[in-house]
Structure 1
Amino acid sequence: MKKPDLSAFGRRSPAVRVLIGALVLVVAAAVGLGVVVATASIIGPTHSDSADGDGANQASPTVSLPANGAPPPALPALNPNAPVPDPAALQTAAAAALSNPALGALTAKIVDPESGSVLFDQGSTTPMQPGSTVKLYTAAAAALLFEPGSRLTTTVSTGASPTEIVIVAGGDITLSSQPESALYPGAATLQALADAVKAAGITQVTKVTVDGSLFEGATTAQGWGSGDAPSTYAAPVYPFMVDGGRTSADFKAMRYAEPDLAAAQQLAALLGNPQAEVARGAVDPNASVLASVQSAPIEDLIERMILDSDNTLAEVIARLVAVQVGQPRTFEGAVAAVSQVMTEAGVDMSGYAAYDASGISQLNVTTSSSLASLLSLATSGDAPKLDVVSSALAVSGYNGTLATRYEAGDAAAGAAGAVRGKTGTLSAVNSLAGTIVTADGRLLVFAFISNGGADLEATRAALDDVAAAVASCGC
C-alpha cells in the first residue's frame, strides 16, 4: 500500500486563522464579494508607469482618487471581560425560538468553552441524523494528522510502451481544467501537468492508465441514494479527478460517473491525443517519473471542504486520514480512522455511528454533545492545529453555506457575523454547529440537530432564530 505524497513545503498559517482571544476580521465589504479562505488584492494602475530605464522617474498620477473609508468588521470583537451567560437567562431569551414547531425533534447543546460550563442542553446525548455537520470530524482529523503546508502530489510515469503513460493518483481531486481555479484556489492545473509531460519528451500518447490503488472498495457509501453520485453535489470516490469530478468548472455542475477516467481523457486531449485509450491499472514499480504537480496546502483543502460543504473533497480527505493511520482505504476504514483520531484527541464520540465522512448517508447518526465536544476543543486553544476548523466555519450573512442566511429582512438578521457554523441538510434533516458571540462579547460553542422538521427553509430559519436569540443575549 502506498501513501500519498504529502510533502511539507514549509509551515505556514492557514489562509485565515481565527484567533480566539481577538475574533476580529476586517473585510473590504465595500468591494462587494469577500472570501475568507483566500483573499486576493486587486490593484489597478492609476497612472502610466512607462518610464524609461529602471522606472525611477515614473510619471506622477494623472488622477486623484478619494481615500477608501475604513471597512466595517465582519465579525464582532470578543470582550475578554464578558461574563459567562446565566443558563436560566439564556434559556429564557431563546425560549420563544426553541418552541417553534418547524424544528421538529431538536437536540441542542450550548457550551462556554473557556469555563467548560454547559449553558443549555436539550437531549444532547440522543443520536440524530446530522447531515453535513459530520464534516467537522473529517476536517478535525485531517488537521490533527497532517502538517500545515502538506500537499498532495499527482504523478505521471512511463507506461508499457513509449506512447503509454500512467497517472499515479495521490488523492488530489482539485486539479483545475482552467488556468486558475475558482473552485479550489491555488489548485494545480491539468495544463501544467500536460506541459510537464511534453517537456519530458512525450510527443504521442496512445493510452493513459490511471493507477488509483491509493483507494479501495466501493466508490459510493451505504445510505447513499441511487441519485447521490454522480450528482451536482457528489461524485463516486476516486483519488484522481479534475474540478472535483465536475463536468465543467461550475460549482453546481453535474459530476462524472467515472471522474478518474474523464480526467485522464482530458489530459490525453491536452497532450494532443484526444482519442487515446483510457483505462485503470497499476504503475510498474520500475517506471520512470515523467512529471508531477501538487495541490494547494492541506489546510486550504480543509477550509474549502468546510466552507462550501464539498462532499467529494470530504470523502477523499477522510480516505487520506485512513491511509495515515493504517485503516482500510474504504468508506468503512475512513469512518473508523476519523473516529479513532477524534477519540485520541479527547473528543466525546458517544452516539457517533457513520457510514461516510461527508454526511450524505442517511444512516449516519451523531449527537449534539459530540459536536459541541469537538468545537469546544477547537476553540479552547489546547489544539492549535484545529484553528483551521474554526477559521473555516461560514460567517452568517457573509460567506459559504451561510451566505444567504441572516440577511436583511430575516428575523435572524441582527446576528449576521455573530454566528459562524457548519450546516447540515438532508431530507427532513437540518443541523447547525459552530460558534456564537453574545451581545456581551462572549464566545460560545453550539450544536443544533433537527430531525423531522418542517420544510427546508422553515426549519433553517427556525434554527437561525435560535442562534440569533442566543447571540442577542446580554445575560
Structure 2
Amino acid sequence: MVVAVLAGATGFALLAGGAQAAPQAYRADQAPPPAAAVLQPADTGGTVGMPGQAGLQAALAPLLQDKALGTLTFAISDGATGKLLLGSGEGSPATPASTTKLATAVAALDLLPPTTRLATRVVAGATPADITLVGGGDPTVTGLPLDQVRIGGAPVDADSAPASLAELARQTAVALKAAGVATVHLAYDTSMYTGPVLHKYHDAMNIAAVVPLMVDEGRIDPRSPDEAPARTFDPAGQAADEFAQLLGAQGVAVDGKAKAGQAQPGAAQLAQVLSPTLPRLVDRMLTTSDNTLAEAVARQVALAAHQPPSFDGAAAAVVQTLTKLGVPMQGVSINDGSGLHLQNAIPPLVLADLLALAASPDHPELRPVLTGLPIGAFSGTLIRRFTPAQGSADGAGVVHAKTGSLSGVNTLAGTVVDADGRLLVFALMTRTPAGADQARAAMDRIVARLTACGCG
C-alpha cells in the first residue's frame, strides 16, 4: 500500500492505494491551510525513545543465554549520546579479531585529509634506459580491466575504482617513446615501509606480505571468489613482473628480469596512478574486511603520526591518535591494523565508543566508518548473515556491522535503528568452543532483536 500526502496550491491529496480525494476549496485571498505533520523529527538527543536497561534486559535475556555464545561480553549504547544502556563485561578486554579495523579506520580518518590518495609511480633512473617502479602503499592497484573488478561482490563505480597498472604502463610507454627509448631496465622500490614484511600470523591467504608495492592485494589469482585466496610471497616482484608484461604490450621491452632497488632522490616522474580517496579505501577495508588493505591504511596513520611505517609503528600511531580523540584506552592492546594478531585486546565498550564517535555530529570526517560497515544479508562479510534460516531476518538491511573471526573467537560491532527510531551502537565479543556458524547465528539473533525493540 502506498500512502502519500501532497500539500500545495492544488489542495488535493493522494490516499492509500493512489485514490484522489476531492480538492479542498479556499479563496485566492486566503492563505492555504497549514499541512499536517507527516513525520515527527528524529530524537537525536535527550531521553525520548531511549531504551531502558530493564526493557533491553527483558527483550534480550533469553537470547543471551544461548550456549553457543560461550563466554560473551557486550556493550549496547545510545548512538546519539554514547551512553551505555546495557552491558556485561563491557569494560573487560577481549580479542577483537577484525573489529580492530574500526580502530584503524577511526585513526586514519581523523589524522589524514579526506582527499588523501596513494600514488604508484614510475620514475627515471641513472640513464634514459633505466626506470624504477615505486610503491606508494596502495595494495588495491589492479592488473584487471576495471569492468572485471569486484569489491564485496559488486562492480566498482568511478569513485571506488582502483588504480590501473595497465594505465601506469601506458603512461610510461608514452613518456619513453617520446624520449626515443624502446628498451629499458626495470627496478622496483619498496623502501617506503620499514620492519618485518610478514605478519606474525601470516598464512599467505588471509594476508599478503606487507610491502608498499603490490597488485590486487598480492592475490595469485585476482579473479578467485575465495574469501581467503592464495597470496604470493613476493607481492612486489609479482607487481613488477606484471608491469613489465604490460609495458611490452605497449611496445616497450624490458631487458632481463626486474630487480629490487631504490629510486634516486629527486628522480623525474614518468607516470603515476592514484588510489581512490582515503574514505573510499576505508569503506572497502571495512566492507570486505581486507587485512592487507588494513595494514596499508595503518601504515599511512604511522607516517602521518611520524611513527615508523611498520607493524609496531602503525599500532603505536593508532593508539596515540585514539587517545587524543578521548577514546578510553584502558585495557586496550593493539599490535596490528587488521586484527589478525592474537594478542590484540579491546573492551566491548571501547568498540561501541568508536562507533558512537563516528556517529557524532562533531566528527563528520569519521562518517565512512559507518557507511563502510557491511549490511546484514546484503553486502560484504554480512551478505550470508541475518537470514530467515538463522532466525535473524529482522536484521536484514537494517544491521550495519563489522565482523571479526579467529579460532574460537567471534565478534560483531555496529549499528541498528530500533523500533522507536533510535540509533543504537553495539559490540558483542565471544570466546566459545561452539562452531563459528552457531556462534554467529546466536549473535545475529541478539542484534536482530534490537531492531524490533521498543524498549523504552
How would you bin the TM-score normalised by the shorter chain? 0.7 to 0.9
Task: Report how far residue 176 of structure 1 moved.
Answer: 1.3
Q: Which residue of 1 aligns with 2:35?
A: none
Q: Which residue of 1 aligns with 2:173?
A: 198
Q: Which residue of 2 aligns with 1:353?
A: 333
Q: Which residue of 2 aligns with 1:245?
A: 218
In our comparison, the structure showing a higher alpha carbon Rg is 2
Q: Which residue of 2 aligns with 1:217?
A: 195
Deviations 1:64-115 (A, max 9, x none): xxxxxxxxxxxxx997146001111111100111001111111100011323
1:214-363 to structure 2, matched below 5 A, reads 214-222=192-200, 224=201, 228-231=202-205, 233-250=206-223, 252=226, 253-272=229-248, 273=253, 276-363=256-343
Matched residue type, 2:213: F
Go from structure 1 to structure 2 and tell me whether the alpha carbon gap of 1:125 and 1:275 turns closer, same or farther (over 3 Å shift): farther
Matched residue type, 1:158: A
Query: 2-side partners of 1:433 and 1:78: how far apart?
Result: 29
From 115, 135, 150, the counterpart of 1:182: 150
Task: Report how far residue 200 of structure 1 moved.
Answer: 0.7
Query: 1-side partners of 2:404 and 2:255: how far apart?
Result: 42
Gaps of 5+ in 2: 1-38
Go from structure 1 to structure 2 and tell me whether the alpha carbon gap of 1:468 and 1:384 turns closer, same or farther (over 3 Å shift): same
Task: Report how far residue 367 of structure 1 moved.
Answer: 0.9
State the percentage of identical aligned residues.
40
From 387, 407, 410, the counterpart of 1:430: 410
Normalising to structure 2: TM-score of the pair?
Answer: 0.83
1:62-77 to structure 2, matched below 5 A, reads none
Query: 2-side partners of 1:212 and 1:182: how far apart?
Result: 26
Pair 1:370-2:343 in alignment: no
Task: Report how far residue 274 of structure 1 moved.
Answer: 6.4
Matched residue type, 1:291: A
Pair 1:108-2:80 in alignment: no
1:88-103 to structure 2, matched below 5 A, reads 88-103=54-69
Task: Report how far residue 422 of structure 1 moved.
Answer: 0.2
Go from structure 1 to structure 2 and tell me whether the alpha carbon gap of 1:297 and 1:78 turns closer, same or farther (over 3 Å shift): farther
Matched residue type, 2:120: T
Q: Which residue of 2 aligns with 1:386?
A: 366
Task: Report how far residue 205 of structure 1 moved.
Answer: 4.4
Alpha-carbon RMSD across the aligned residues, in angstroms, is 1.8
Matched residue type, 1:230: A
Go from structure 1 to structure 2 and tell me whether the alpha carbon gap of 1:94 and 1:454 turns closer, same or farther (over 3 Å shift): same
Go from structure 1 to structure 2 and tell me whether the alpha carbon gap of 1:115 and 1:356 turns closer, same or farther (over 3 Å shift): closer
Query: 2-side partners of 1:377 and 1:440: how far apart?
Result: 21
Matched residue type, 1:112: D
Instruction: Confirm or deny: 8 A CA contact 1:268 1:276 kept in the other structure.
Output: no
Task: Report how far residue 204 of structure 1 moved.
Answer: 4.0
Pair 1:126-2:92 in alignment: yes
Deviates more, 1:96-105 or 1:198-207: 198-207
Deviates more, 1:166-175 or 1:427-436: 166-175
Task: Report how far residue 408 of structure 1 moved.
Answer: 2.9
Instruction: Confirm or deny: 8 A CA contact 2:394 2:449 kept in the other structure.
Output: no
Instruction: Confirm or deny: 8 A CA contact 2:432 2:439 kept in the other structure.
Output: no
Instruction: Confirm or deny: 8 A CA contact 1:220 1:229 kept in the other structure.
Output: no
Matched residue type, 1:235: A
Deviates more, 1:407-416 or 1:271-280: 271-280
Go from structure 1 to structure 2 and tell me whether the alpha carbon gap of 1:205 and 1:175 turns closer, same or farther (over 3 Å shift): farther
Query: 1-side partners of 2:183 and 2:261: how far apart?
Result: 16
Deviations 1:248-274 (A, max 9, x none): 222533211110110001001111146
Matched residue type, 2:150: A
Instruction: Confirm or deny: 8 A CA contact 1:130 1:449 kept in the other structure.
Output: yes
Q: Which residue of 1 aligns with 2:19?
A: none
Task: Report how far residue 275 of structure 1 moved.
Answer: 6.6
Q: Which residue of 2 aligns with 1:465?
A: 445
Deviations 1:125-181 (A, max 9, x none): 111111100000111111112222221111101123333211121111111112203
**What SS is found at the alignment partner of 1:270?**
helix
Query: 1-side partners of 2:95 and 2:64: how far apart?
Result: 19
Go from structure 1 to structure 2 and tell me whether the alpha carbon gap of 1:442 and 1:281 turns closer, same or farther (over 3 Å shift): same
Matched residue type, 2:99: T
Pair 1:442-2:417 in alignment: no
Go from structure 1 to structure 2 and tell me whether the alpha carbon gap of 1:190 and 1:87 turns closer, same or farther (over 3 Å shift): same
Gaps of 5+ in 1: 1-76
Deviations 1:430-458 (A, max 9, x none): 00001111112111010111113411100
Pair 1:159-2:122 in alignment: no
Query: 1-side partners of 2:280 and 2:69: how far apart?
Result: 34
Query: 2-side partners of 1:383 and 1:170: how far apart?
Result: 28
From 125, 131, 137, the counterpart of 2:103: 137
Query: 1-side partners of 2:204 and 2:115: how far apart?
Result: 31
Instruction: Confirm or deny: 8 A CA contact 1:355 1:363 kept in the other structure.
Output: yes
Go from structure 1 to structure 2 and tell me whether the alpha carbon gap of 1:104 and 1:293 turns closer, same or farther (over 3 Å shift): same
Matched residue type, 1:266: E
